[in-house]
Structure 1
């Protein structure tokens, strides 16, 4: 049985009112423009449409990366700032951290008993993480990622999970765990469906997928000057006639796609405007489009960053709400498993 997943038609996000949604990020650094157009913007739309939204900061899942783990508090704070600046409202979206919700993590143990080592090892995301880990060996924690994500989703009994196509195998593990738990112990968990994002994949400054680890990303919080410098370094080609051709001209096409998202136009339209003026003119246009589009968000973020205590309060309150729900779910799980001894 595969996860129920369809690319949402127009209005699908708005019809999510009343659904319970779980989404989140690992705190590996500041979010970038790819995150914004790929997921963050839609999270705000789901929130505004009336979905009951939970947003997890998966801090336990970065312990396998020593460089990231050494700056964990900084990265978690940066994530919260990015969320708030983009429009996440902590009064309507519960923002919480793995490490702040003990009952969620206790679900990992019974969940691991429901999947085999082989099932975890052949998960595409786990294999990709191992391939890009740059380590001689990997810890056992990395193999628990799919089951841990199942705990993220099922602790709050989310019935809808926004994902990209590459994340469907993770969600399928969650659905498998829910189904096996229900078959063995009785009905406790829903089998969540997938809401596939209709957002385009935003290439980075080298024409490949925008990613922090690849060094080709433009952070949401970048200043106007930093943005200009990153875009000036973007990979293009020698052809002065600017055209949109993602296969043969990935660098130029990536810049056109970014400008199109910021300006609400098509890449082909922008390519026609630049014409034979060359890559330098294209990069100036893209820089202006990005800086103008994100100026309000960056101003909000700078204002919020001046009060880090308020950011910590938001996370503390979100942890408290998530704990209340996780505790209730764990009590239900223990009862179903016959583990209530008093």
Structure 2
């Protein structure tokens, strides 16, 4: 059976990708090697790419929902800096596309409360929400994500293994809509997962790299801040440096980070550092990260000087997304015999 990746490489123009982020802070190296690098790759292959700024989804996070404009613009800046080209990809915001959000209503009629309750991502979000009660927005998050994907009739969604249940809800919504309202036609495609092969990078405290945990190296951090964060990164008591992610996760994550930035084999990087110890490892990582990010940071600084351009990129993306969402909503209303 041909893989999704092979199909994309064979006929990139027949694929449409939806991906995105919640604007809750500066994007970091975990985001870059986990998703951003792949978005640029898909764009450069010729895949039509939609990048969602999921600003409505931060309404579940009261600590970041108070200043959305700043976070949204910072997210757009990070994407421009890494190489997302607004002439080839569409960057848009949830709140600016009414027809997308209107799809949520008919889609909610196609799933049950018990199906939403069983979704592992919803359960995880609830467990980590730090809130006394769960909002309806958080509970219906998988269906909102289905609207994100299906509004543009995306047929490929890059995901990690842990996000597959979310995509399955989207496929369920699409299949049930087609069966109930399609009259023999496929109104929506059943999107395929493009499984991530991204490496796992730990934060400086040895846990998952995360904006909310303060353990990440932001793409926009300067060289001095990067050096300070890496100097404080957790290692272990063994002096000799080896690459063994299972037995030595913190050390191995640093080795991997240097290798990714250098385009090298992590085993070779560890071998070259060897008995020089943790201090030498951190110097190597610092040099590698700062060297790799230098052109990205330079582009980001240049774009940041012209906030009007950043807002224009988002405005143009919103306009394109609205045209597509309006057409999809017309298709939905026609299928439901509600085009009156």
Report TM bin, short chain.
Answer: over 0.9
Q: Per-residue displacement from partner, 1:35-55 (whole Å, max 9, x unpaired)?
A: 111111111111111111111
User: Which residue is equivalent to 2:112?
Assistant: 116
Alpha-carbon contact 2:21-2:54 (below 8 Å) kept = yes
Deviation at 1:214, TM superposition (A): 2.3
TM-score normalised by the chain length of structure 2: 0.96
Which residue does 2:131 correspond to in 1? Answer: 135
Q: Give the SS at the match of 1:188.
A: coil
Tell me how far apart the structure 2 counterparts of residues 197 and 13 of structure 1 sit (CA, whole Å): 16
1:297 aligns with 2:296: yes
1:65 is aligned to 2:65? no
Over 3 Å counting, the alpha-carbon distance change for 1:13 and 1:92 in structure 2 is same
* Corresponding residue SS for 1:151: helix
State the Cα deviation string for residues 261-288 of structure 1 (Å, max 9, x = none).
0011121111111111111111011000
171, 174, 179: which one pairs with 1:178? 174
1:48-99 per-residue CA deviation (whole Å, 9 max, x = no partner) reads 1111111111110110101110121111001100000000000000100000
What CA distance in whole angstroms lies between the structure 1 residues aligned with 2:114 and 2:227? 46
Q: Give the match's secondary structure for 1:212.
A: coil
CA distance in 2 between counterparts of 1:128 and 1:256 reads: 30
State the alpha-carbon separation in 2 of the partners of residues 63 and 164 from structure 1.
24
Q: Does 1:315 align with 2:311?
A: no
For 1:329 and 1:211, how far apart are their aligned partners in 2? 35
Say if 1:154 and 1:160 are closer, same or farther in 2 by CA, change over 3 A.
same
Tell me if structure 2 keeps the 8 A contact 1:14–1:45.
Answer: no
Quick one: distance in 2 between partners of 1:126 and 1:61? 13
CA 1:298–1:173 in structure 2 vs 1: closer, same or farther (change >3 Å)?
same
Counterpart in 1 of 2:52? 56
Matched position secondary structure for 1:211: coil
Q: 1:212 to 1:150 in 2, by over 3 A?
A: same
Number of equivalences: 337
**Once the 2 structures are TM-superposed, how far is the Cα of residue 209 of structure 1 from its aligned partner?**
2.1
1:40-119 mapped onto 2 (5 Å cutoff): 40-119=36-115
Quote how far apart the aligned CAs of 1:6 are.
5.5
Show the 5 A alignment for 1:209-228: 209-228=208-227
Question: Using a 3 Å threshold, how does the CA distance of structure 1 residues 161 and 13 change in structure 2: closer, same or farther?
Answer: farther
Query: Quick check: 1:54–1:95 contact (8 Å CA) kept in 2?
Result: yes
SS of the residue 2:212 aligns to: helix
| Structure 2 CA distance for aligned equivalents of residues 124 and 32 of structure 1 | 25
The residue number in structure 1 matching 2:246 is 247
Cα distance, 1:164 vs. partner? Answer: 1.1
Q: Pairwise CA RMSD of aligned residues?
A: 1.6
Structure 1: gaps of 5 or more residues = none
Tell me the CA shift for residue 327 of structure 1.
0.3
Q: CA deviation at 1:13?
A: 5.2
CA distance in 1, matches of 2:209, 2:124: 16
Instruction: Detail structure 1 runs of 4+ shifted over 6 Å in the superposition.
Output: none
